[in-house]
Amino acid sequence: DVKVTQSSRYLVKRTGEKVFLECVQDMDHENMFWYRQDPGLGLRLIYFSYDVKMKEKGDIPEGYSVSREKKERFSLILESASTNQTSMYLCASIPGVGRDAVKLFFGSGTQLSVL
């Protein structure tokens, strides 16, 4: 089975800190995504990457950046964390081709609290 692993399940940070959220997938998928999820708002796309060193803005990229130096790893960076970035962050991957090219595989999420 495809596994998408997010480095932390819960994270507490202070306002102004630089925060790194890490995501690793083990199935050689080309495409990776970062979403945030807030009550009543569903999942909102922050950034996605369709190849190493390639990235595209999603719907709400402000205040975030990403890094994809290796195919299996996609990092979300909060340069200066703010309280309005308190949220559940979900990473996902999907292959570019093949039978599973229609299925997003999600990690379990990181609940980030910014105090």
Q: CB under 8 A: which stretch of 12-20, 48-56, 64-72, 73-81 binds other proteins?
A: 48-56
Measure Cα distances from 85 to 17, 52, 80 in Å: 12, 26, 10
The dihedral over CA atoms of 18, 24, 11, 45, expressed in degrees to the nearest 10, equals 80
Structure-token pair, residue 94? 């999907």
Please, what is the minimum distance in Å from the beta carbon of residue 103 to other proteins?
4
Among 17, 26, 28, 56, binds other proteins (CB under 8 A): 56
Q: How far is residue 111's CA from residue 29's CA, in Å, rounded to a whole number?
A: 24
Contacting other proteins within 79-98 (CB under 8 A)? 90, 92, 96-97
Query: What does the binding site for other proteins look like in residue numbers (CB under 8 A)?
Result: 4, 31, 33, 35, 40-45, 48, 50, 56, 58-59, 90, 92, 96-97, 101-109
